[in-house]
Chains A and B, each alone.
Chain A
Amino acid sequence: MGNKKGKVKEMKKSKRILSLALALVITALCAAGCGKTNKTQGLGKNLSSEAKQALQDGKTVIVISKWPAKDSPDYETMEEKRANFMEQNPDIFLEPSQFRFDFKTFTAVAAAGELPTMYDTYFTQVKPIIDDGFATDITKSLKKIGFYDEINEKLLPYTTDKKGNVYALTYSAYYQGLHINKNIFKEAGLVDSEGNVLIPSSYEDVYEFSKIIKEKTGKAGFAFPTAEHVGGWHFVNLAWAYGVDFLKKDGDKYIAAFDTQECYDAFEWIRKMKKDELFPTSTVTIAQKKLYELFGTGQAAMMIADPPCQALPIDYNMDPKSFMVASMPEGPAGRFSQLGGDVYMFRSDATEAQVDACLKWLEFNGTTPEITEERAKAIEASNKKVIANWNGIVLPKPAFSLWSSPERDAKIAEIYGKDTNVIPSDYDSYYKAEGVTIRPEPEVACQELYSILDGVIQAIYANTDADIPALVKDAAHQWQVNYLDKLN
């Protein structure tokens, strides 16, 4: 009996020891998975072994975003450029990253310290990113490399903080224009005596033309977005044309200023377009992608977008010569178009050496005020690739100049003109932009404003007899109380 008790005790003891050992092993394995990654200043992500070696060798290592994936037609070209750049700059190591800005994940990635040294984003995100402390001042580096004085001064307000320090470098800028499906217009008989498509000059013309298009072809005249802030963003251009100012300042206080007759009139235009069924009826939740789909598949004859709208030929096989882009329609207060753009920003902990290295790479890759012969050839080759590899659009010239040099603009236009696959005269009205005032978006809480305006547009879509003044009053109140008062 005594022996049995002793054996049971021993068994219990060994069971406990075994359980303890198992528990420790499993806990260690779990903890191993939670270990911190090795981050280095200005770099973030887990570096490749080559990058680590470069760091040890004392090189300046930079991580660059928007690198093409291995199966992309551009990958080989970019790898070749990377190799050439590092050969010409032996003290720099460039680590590629496929990071692309996405507002849904950006803050989480930035808070985790995983941003590349140089990352892409949009104009609208520059100030929030500066406020959140995820970017560094690059003014000194821009002056060093000679870019600062060459930047188009119209772009500077979008890329600076309140003190005028530059935090971003624009690599692409554009303003919106009226896209017109020439085939639908011709089918509806909206052509002049020489067979050229008639361009609607005003929003009233857009309405009248849409009526004719619907009558003659059964298709929607105009696609207007309604969701994901895109509706509000587009409506701002329409509202400006009717004389609406969304934001006013009373001393230091921001005041929502769009509860006005002019705003009611702008929404009345939306109402009458909807009531007469001149918008597409197949869907009501229209965000950016849906907007392009409606135009690209010929369900709508017109839309507002910024050229080049690459989705049209690439995703919907639209012939680039089958549509044209005109300047924004006119309203009672004139023509207005919002300026948009894409920028590069730099991690808040990036060193000056890293920022300098990134700017050198940009200069090497073509974002530079100078057009050398080599650079000209590279632009030509790139334009040819856009058509050959992607079936994309090459415009007669970039929509908006990044630099303040008319000679450069002329040179660029000459290079683009060689490979453009659109009819240049189809873009005359857009490029001339006669009478068009290019405006920046409202200074603060603009995404919130767009969301609120989306709601008003949806309310009108849902009920074409909706009380527009009441909706606008409520929208202005929402913007004021929920967002502007928190800033005041």
Chain B
Amino acid sequence: MKLKGNKTIPNNLLRSISTNLSGWMLLLPGMFLFFYIIWRPIFIGITYSFFDIKGFTPIKFIGLQNYKYVLSDTQFLRTLKNTVSYVFWSMIIGFPLPILCAIMLNEMIGFKQYFKISLYLPHIMPTIAVSVLWINIYAPDGAGLLNMLMQRFSLGPYQWLMNEKSVIPLLIVSSTWKGFGGTMLYYFAAIQSVNTELYEATRIDGCGFWGRARYVIIPHMTPIILLMLIRQIIGVFQTLDAPMVMTSGGPNGASMTLALTAYNLAFRYGRAGEALAVNFITFLLLIGLTFVYYGAEKKVSE
């Protein structure tokens, strides 16, 4: 492919490499590791998903048979719907919270450091510990913390995690409690880079807190918000730990996700080929979402 003048892409690449040869050579080991630890397993996984697998060894090429099994599974559509539901609820519950907390933290005059640390603390707790903690909060009898609070208002006790309708939002609440502190720090750092003269300008114009947030802070944070949005969607789409520890995908499959399905297929039922097919389908769905994000980001930049 030719560019303007006599330039071609290969020529440009060679020139770039030649100019920055030292840099490329120092990058080589890292690229080697990246290829070996990240890309190679992905390629192998995709390849193996077209094979009949015994243990973890591919035996025979079977084409799309694993995909047919996965897509014809009576629970596949329900599991896909559950996974999308996780993403939906994380957008409602988990996405705005760190933004609000970062903005409020920025507005605070005193005890800022104390609140910053307190809000971040759940983020450093191990996931399993958080899950066990929330299992006890959601315990269905009167001894569960949430039911104890409800009973003070003459409500409940409620089944919480045993309710097919509420189980996913409740799992998202527990995941948000653990994760929002880390995300909040990203937003807080972005807010810190706002030019203080803009704040002065809003004060002069008579803007209060909401005006500052609307006209200065949020527009300034838009690029990082979009980045975190796609990261959150990709991350939540692969939810595994919360349903595995807290509900085992129940009640009756109501909190089952694609990732947990793949785990069960690979390690409980010894069907590694189908597990890889599930993972590749997840990968394709996320690639699609990523293209949507890049399209949206381009429009926003323009």
Interface residues of A (CB under 8 A from B): 15-16, 18-20, 22-23, 26-27, 29-30, 34, 103-105, 107-108, 110-111, 128, 131-134, 226-229, 281-285, 287, 447-448, 451, 454-456, 458-459, 461-462, 471, 474, 477-478, 481-482, 486
Residue of B nearest to A228 (CB): B248
CB distance from A113 to the nearest CB of B (A): 11
In the complex, the answer to whether B26 meets A23 with C-beta atoms within 8 Å is: yes
Instruction: Say yes or no: A451 contacts B251, CB within 8 Å.
Output: no
A226 proximity list for chain B (CB < 8 A): 250
Is residue B151 contacting chain A, with contact meaning CB distance below 8 A?
A: no
Say whether B196 faces chain A, with CB atoms less than 8 Å apart: no
Query: Is B16 in the interface zone, CB < 8 Å from A?
Result: no
Bound: A134/B143 CA distance, A: 47
Is A15 a contact partner of B72 (Cβ separation < 8 A)?
no
Cβ A454 vs Cβ B56 within 8 A: no
Q: Is the CB of B55 within 8 A of A132?
A: yes
Cα-based distance from A287 to B267 in the complex (angstroms): 17
A283–B139 contact, CB under 8 A? Answer: yes
Q: A107-B56, A281-B141 given; name 8 further pairs at CB < 8 Å.
A: A16-B25, A133-B54, A282-B139, A282-B143, A284-B140, A285-B248, A459-B251, A482-B73
Given contacts A281-B141, A478-B74, contact A461 B251 (CB under 8 A): yes
- In order of increasing CB-CB distance, the 9 nearest A-B pairs are A111-B56, A458-B251, A19-B22, A26-B29, A455-B252, A281-B141, A459-B252, A23-B25, A132-B55
Q: Does B21 touch A at the CB level, under 8 Å?
A: yes
Could you say which residues of chain A place their CB within 8 Å of the CB of B161? 284-285
How far is B69's CA from A281's CA once the two chains are assembled, in angstroms?
38
Taking the complex as formed, is B57 at the interface, i.e. its CB lies under 8 A from any CB of chain A? Answer: yes
Known: A19-B26, A285-B250, A458-B252. A103 touches B268 (CB 8 A): yes
Q: What separation, in Å, do the CA atoms of A135 and B260 have in the docked complex? A: 28
A462 and B252 within 8 A (CB): yes
**Is A108's CB under 8 angstroms from B26's CB?**
no
Alpha-carbon separation in the docked complex, A132 to B72 (Å): 24
CB < 8 Å: which of A15, A228, A287, A458 contacts B22? Answer: A15
State in angstroms the CA–CA spacing of A19 and B141 once bound together: 65
Alpha-carbon separation in the docked complex, A427 to B277 (Å):
50
- A462 near B159 (CB under 8 angstroms)? yes
Q: B250 and A227: CB pair below 8 A?
A: yes
Task: Tell me which residues across on chain B come within 8 A of A110, comparing CB atoms.
Answer: 55
Contact indicator B159/A27 (Cβ below 8 Å): no
Question: For A15, what are the chain B residues with a Cβ–Cβ distance below 8 Å?
Answer: 22
16 A-B pairs in the complex with CB atoms less than 8 angstroms apart? A108-B56, A128-B270, A131-B270, A132-B54, A134-B55, A227-B248, A281-B140, A283-B140, A284-B161, A285-B161, A285-B250, A451-B264, A458-B250, A459-B251, A481-B72, A482-B74
Q: Which of A19, A447, A474 contacts B269 (CB 8 A)?
A: A447
* Pairwise interchain contact A454-B55, C-beta atoms closer than 8 A: no
* Choice from A34, A282, A462 contacting B164 with Cβ under 8 Å: A462
Chain B contacts with A in 246-302, Cβ cutoff 8 A: 246-248, 250-253, 264, 266-270, 272
A-B residue pair count with CB separations less than 8 angstroms: 120
Given the complex of chains A and B, what is the CA–CA distance between A128 and B33 in angstroms? 35
CA distance A229 to B21 in the complex (A): 57
B36 at the interface (CB under 8 A from A): yes
Query: Closest residue of chain A to B160, judged by CB?
Result: A284
A132 to B58, CA, bound (A): 11
Distance (Å) between the CB of A345 and the closest chain B CB? 14
Contacting residues of chain B (103-158) with chain A, CB-CB under 8 angstroms: 135, 139-141, 143-144
Q: Cβ of A478: which chain B residues have Cβ within 8 Å of it?
A: 74-75
B21 lies within 8 A of A16 (CB): yes
B159 is contacted by which of A108, A284, A486 (Cβ under 8 Å)? Answer: A284
Nearest Cβ on chain B to A348's Cβ, whole angstroms: 10
Cα A36 to Cα B233 with chains together (Å):
38
CB-CB under 8 A from B29, the residues of chain A are 23, 26-27, 29-30
- What CA separation (Å) do A331 and B261 show in the bound complex? 35
Beyond A133-B55, A227-B250, A459-B252, whether A107 also contacts B22 by CB under 8 A is: no
Known: A111-B56, A462-B164. A104 touches B267 (CB 8 A): yes
User: Which residues of the partner chain A approach B266 to less than 8 Å between Cβ atoms?
Assistant: 107
A272 to chain B, nearest CB (A): 18
B161, closest chain A residue (CB)? A284
Q: How far is the CB of B237 from chain A (nearest CB, A)?
A: 23
- Supposing A128-B270, A283-B139, A459-B252 touch, asked if A22 and B54 sit within 8 A by C-beta, the answer is no
Does B32 touch A at the CB level, under 8 Å?
A: yes
Q: Which of A18, A281, A462 contacts B163 (CB 8 A)?
A: A462
CB-defined contacts of A20 to chain B, threshold 8 Å: 25
A474 to B78, CA, bound (A): 13
Contacts of B3 in A (CB 8 A): none
| Complexed CA–CA distance, A34 and B163 (Å) | 48
Judged by a CB distance under 8 angstroms, whether B162 is at the interface is yes
CB distance from B45 to the nearest CB of A (A): 14
